[in-house]
Amino acid sequence: MELKHITLYHVVTKLREEFETSFGKTIHRHCVIVSIEDSSDTVGWGEAPVDDGPWYSYETIYTTLNVYRKFIIPILKKNRVIESPWIFNDIVKRVRGYRMAKAGIETALWDLYAKLQNKPLYKVIGGVKERVSSGVSIGIIGNMEKLLKSVEYYWGQGYQRIKIKIAPGWDIKPIKRIREVFKDIPLQVDANASYSLSNMNVFKELDKHDLLMIEQPLHYEDLYEHSILQKRLHTPICLDESIKSIYDTKAAIALQSCRVINIKPARVGGLSESKLVHDYSMKNNIPVWIGGMLETGIGRGFQVALATLPNVKYPSDISASSRYYEEDIIEPPWIVDSKGFIHVPNKPGIGVEVIEKRLIKYSKRIYSISLRD
């Protein structure tokens, strides 16, 4: 690929409903959309789902735009002829961290690369499924009746499992109540790193409710304490925040810190690293699923492609466009069928068309940068 031009869009979309987690409430979702054009005028699209504050991750809109313009794009300019996206991380390895920023550009390169081969992205990365299992992630809803209504609604829509966010003070009560009404639906919780080992009584209680998994109960950088907790629970621990790379994956598996891994392409630095985490987990009998960051329809395309990999054994946090947004920036919107499946498009790249008029409408600022000078 001979890269010609890159455009960065700071996009702000409004969620249909506020989404609350242990780290805060979101109603306006920020991200950086990246488009990269090559010498044949083919365009690839990518997404860095960074927020406007360092809540889930230390990376924000501001760090991402700066690190792009000051460090990553200058390196890309020197390497504008690039064989494949597999080597992107190697090209930018002098820049440490900033995995979400890197993922924004790397995913755009993947979309472009697949389009140039006229192949759907999932086939290029070794996907083996034509449809993927969809789950829904429900934020903290402090009102029990509203929470039940929400679970009932999404379960009725066909989603194959329900995940609710928990935080100290909002954990056992909602789970007990959901289990009274929905005795055996696939149910899991996500703590977003809000507990410590001193909360063992909460974990012991959660352990009685036949949960599929408990996601990221302890500190976002921890592996060791999760290994202690996992030994004391029947319920599998799933790591999200703690797995930022293949190196964390190897350590987590060796320490038995978890029995399941949530792979978010942006968190680990893109599809190449996601594939490394996926393959290593598969070799070690650790099933995975694909997590989300309330992405636009562009980011969702990469989640869908990854979810077609063989070791994705649980429903992923890949919901319909309409679960998040009134209007997505792509067409057709991502749709979940009544059995909870998303059908993988067979068109080249991520398989959806970006509607540039909408993208521009939601953009707070746009940087258009030639890679040729």
Residue 20 contacts ligand OSB per CB under 6 A = no
Residues 190, 222, 273, 328: which binds Mg ion (CB under 5 A)?
Answer: 190
Q: What Cα–Cα distance (Å) separates residue 208 from each residue in 59, 139, 165, 213, 237?
A: 36, 22, 18, 12, 14
Residues 7, 35, 133, 137: which binds ligand OSB (CB under 6 A)?
Answer: 137
Q: Evaluate whether 355 touches 331 at the Cβ level (below 8 Å).
A: yes
Locate 35 and state its tokens.
Answer: 């488009």
Residue 133 contacts ligand OSB per CB under 6 A = no
Locate 327 and state its tokens.
Answer: 């209007």
Is the preceding peptide bond at 332 cis, omega within 30 degrees of 0?
Answer: yes
Distance CA 66, CA 61 (A): 9
Q: Evaluate whether 236 touches 213 at the Cβ level (below 8 Å).
A: yes
Is residue 313 flagged as an active site residue?
no
Indicate the residue whose CB is closest to ligand OSB. Answer: 292
State the DSSP H helix or E strand holding residue 274, giving kind and residue range, or none if neither: helix 271-283
**Among 264, 275, 339, 357, the one annotated catalytic:** 264
Site string for ligand OSB, 319-358 (x = CB under 6 A): x---------------------------------------
Residue 273 contacts ligand OSB per CB under 6 A = no
Q: Evaluate whether 304 touches 334 at the Cβ level (below 8 Å).
A: yes
The least CB distance from residue 166 to Mg ion, in Å, is: 11
- 288, β-bridge pairs: 261, 312
The least CB distance from residue 21 to Mg ion, in Å, is: 8
Which of helix, strand or coil describes residue 29?
strand
Beta-strand pair 363-370/341-343: unpaired
Residue 240 contacts Mg ion per CB under 5 A = yes
The least CB distance from residue 192 to Mg ion, in Å, is: 6
Q: For residues 113 and 324, which CB has a smaller minimum distance to ligand OSB in the complex?
A: 324
Distance CA 106, CA 116 (A): 15
Q: Evaluate whether 288 touches 263 at the Cβ level (below 8 Å).
A: yes
Q: For residues 55 and 71, which CB has a smaller minimum distance to ligand OSB in the complex?
A: 55
Is residue 264 flagged as an active site residue?
yes
Q: For residues 313 and 364, which CB has a smaller minimum distance to Mg ion in the complex?
A: 313
Residue 190 contacts ligand OSB per CB under 6 A = yes
* Residue 163 backbone dihedrals phi, psi, to 5 degrees: -120, 135
106 contacts which partner out of ligand OSB, Mg ion, none, CB within 5 to 8 A by kind? none
Residue 294 contacts ligand OSB per CB under 6 A = yes
Q: What is the DSSP string of 80-140?
A: -B-S-GGGHHHHTTTS-S-HHHHHHHHHHHHHHHHHHTT-BHHHHTT---SEEEB-EEE--
Give, as one character, the DSSP assignment of residue 207.
Answer: T
Size of the residue set binding Mg ion (CB under 5 A): 3
319 contacts which partner out of Mg ion, ligand OSB, none, CB within 5 to 8 A by kind? ligand OSB
Point out which span in 5-13, 63-71, 122-130, 291-299 binds ligand OSB (CB under 6 A).
291-299
Q: Evaluate whether 110 touches 87 at the Cβ level (below 8 Å).
A: no
Point out which span in 59-67, 104-112, 168-176, 285-293 binds ligand OSB (CB under 6 A).
285-293
**Among 115, 165, 244, 275, the one annotated catalytic:** 165
Residue 293 contacts ligand OSB per CB under 6 A = yes
User: Which residues in this chain contact Mg ion in the complex, by CB under 5 A?
Assistant: 190, 215, 240
User: Which residues in this chain contact ligand OSB in the complex, by CB under 6 A?
Assistant: 56, 137, 190, 192, 240, 291-294, 317, 319
* Enzyme catalytic residues: 165, 264
